[in-house]
Amino acid sequence: MDSKSLTPDQLPRRLGVFSAAAVVVGAIIGSGIFGVTAEIANGVGTVGAMALAWLTGGLITLCLAWSMAELSAMYPSAGGTYVYLREAFGPMMAFLFGWIFLLFAPAGWAGIAAIFSRYAAPLLGVGHDHEYLITIAVIAVVTITNVLSVTFSSRVQSATTVAKALALFGLALALFLLAKGSDGALAAPIDWRPTSMAGFGTVLVAVLWAYDGVGPFCALSGEVKDPGRSLPIALLVGVSIVVVLYMLINAAYLYALPLDAVKASTLVAGDAAQSIGGNTARQAISVLVMVSTFGAISALGLTDPRVFFAMGRDGLFFRSIGAIHPRFATPARAVVLSGVIACLYASRQEFEQLAATFVLGLWPFYALAVAGVIVLRHKRPDQPRPYRTFGYPVVPAAFVAATFLILGNALITSPISTGMNIGLTLLGIPVYFIWKRVAGNHAAAS
């Protein structure tokens, strides 16, 4: 649909099922798969427990995808999780999600862009103290392209997604074919027991960080063609591809390297590649990390601003943020807002812990949205459902239970960071009532 044929209130549906699935894969595969392997290995202590952690995270994410597929097909509009919470639990819960999303999502952009900069700086001759300039430049490029064209951004996203998926598969295949397996961790008897169950629960936070992308993708639902069919396919195919790739590449790491080497590695993909191809192979991995992280930022640039756009349309944020650009038919102001906040995080260079622990802030809302599948089945039984959650009600209930078990464990093992997230969420309650009063007074005055 040409943007000139649209009313000012419409975002055009320009993304097909392949482009949508590419956004799912691209949003998930970013820096997490390259940065958390050592943390997971140290947290669980055994090869078998590492495999179980990645598999558990994958199953939890599949449960999320199965549940979100029903919600996205029911409400195929911009905002995703924000919309589902509004429909199931009312505007205050939706506002609290948007409040936390505003704090955490741009930090995620900055955190992933910083990983890109870390690998790009040596190639560009930029010193460590000025890496943040590359970070800001990458965020600016993503912001501008998403203001100008969703179609172009989705094509970039599709290209980078295919490239990094093939590269990960190729790396895994090369490691299995060329590495000396007798020296790797898989050569020894596999112990499936984690060092402690608390440690296993703690590393699942890192695993879910690496798997995150389903929630952000759903915010793009309003721009996917034939949403009742395309959204469930994109979610389920995209997540399934990622689970297979993650399990495969982690098995390849452990085939090529002993467990102690994995625990000590800051970039396990580079160390594994170096074991079969020397420094040249390690440099190739640096390029892979750059492609992967740029693709992830590009995907988030497509998805995240739609949450603020939807809030603006509902009057739960500045209404100007809910405007559609008259020429480009994009939520331009919401995109710019996201990019500016991400640049502020990047310029301060104090955001990485916030970005890495965002799971503790956002995943409770994903759990509530999934609980909304059950709530809406009773609240609106006659609502058209082009897709119904597989394994209902076991699958959504399992996701909710797993999420709150992980968060409960985090509250015990990491009380400060978890408490900070709870405090920030609760702070949103008075902010909501203040906003409602100010917005009400402004409407009355006009």
Cα–Cα dist 294/161, whole Å = 10
- Token pair of 16 as six digits: 């097909």
pLDDT, residue 445, reads 60
Q: What torsion, rounded to 10 degrees, do the Cα atoms 23, 101, 232, 406 define?
A: 110
Contact call for residues 6 and 329 (beta carbons, < 8 A):
yes
- Token pair of 212 as six digits: 């995150």
Q: What is the pLDDT of residues 203-251, one digit of tens each?
A: 998 899 889 999 999 999 999 999 999 999 999 999 999 999 999 999 9
Cα–Cα dist 417/86, whole Å = 27
Q: Which residues contact 101 (CB under 8 A, 6 or more apart)?
A: 82, 304, 307, 308, 362
Does 350 score more than 80 pLDDT?
Answer: no
Cα–Cα dist 279/273, whole Å = 8
Residue 416 or residue 48, greater confidence: 48
pLDDT, residue 442, reads 63
- Token pair of 256 as six digits: 């090529």
Residue whose entry in the numeric block shows the structure tokens 């408490």: 419
CB hemisphere CA count around 332 (13 angstroms): 12
Task: Provide the mean pLDDT of the chain.
Answer: 88
pLDDT, residue 441, reads 65
Residue whose entry in the numeric block shows the structure tokens 């430049």: 137
Q: What is the pLDDT of residues 147-178, one digit of tens each?
A: 998 888 888 888 989 998 999 999 999 999 99
Confidence of residue 189 (pLDDT cuts 50, 70, 90): confident
Tell me 75's DSSP state.
S
pLDDT, residue 446, reads 55
- Token pair of 178 as six digits: 């060329």
Cα–Cα dist 269/217, whole Å = 26
pLDDT, residue 407, reads 87
pLDDT, residue 8, reads 44
Does 284 score more than 50 pLDDT?
Answer: yes
Does 443 score more than 70 pLDDT?
Answer: no
Range name among 22-36, 338-352, 374-388 with the lowest pLDDT average: 338-352
Among residues 141, 82, 148, the alpha carbon closest in space to that of 312 is found at: 82
Confidence of residue 421 (pLDDT cuts 50, 70, 90): confident
Q: Which of 114-118, 271-275, 322-326, 376-380 has the highest mean pLDDT?
A: 376-380
Q: Which residues of 68-102 are buried (b: 16+ CB within 10 A; e: fewer)?
A: bbbbbbbbbbbbbbbbbbbbbbebbbbbbbbbbbb
Q: What is the pLDDT of residues 32-69, one digit of tens each?
A: 788 788 889 999 999 999 999 999 999 999 999 999 99
Cα–Cα dist 71/76, whole Å = 8
Give me the CATH code for the 9-445 domain, please: 1.20.1740.10
Does 428 score more than 90 pLDDT?
Answer: yes
Work out whether the CA dihedral 15, 16, 17, 19 comes out positive or negative: negative
Q: What is the pLDDT of residues 286-333, one digit of tens each?
A: 888 889 889 889 989 999 999 999 999 999 999 999 999 989 889 999
**Every domain of the chain and the residues it spans:** 9-445
Confidence of residue 3 (pLDDT cuts 50, 70, 90): very low
Among residues 218, 222, 229, 215, the alpha carbon closest in space to that of 329 is found at: 222
Q: What is the pLDDT of residues 89-135, one digit of tens each?
A: 999 999 999 999 998 888 888 888 888 888 888 878 888 788 888 99
**Where does residue 207 rank: exposed (0-12), middle (13-18), buried (19+ CB within 10 A)?**
buried
Count the neighbouring beta carbons within 10 Å of the beta carbon of residue 355: 22
Range name among 105-114, 140-149, 375-384, 390-399 with the lowest pLDDT average: 105-114
Share of the chain above pLDDT 70, in %: 94
Does 6 score more than 50 pLDDT?
Answer: no
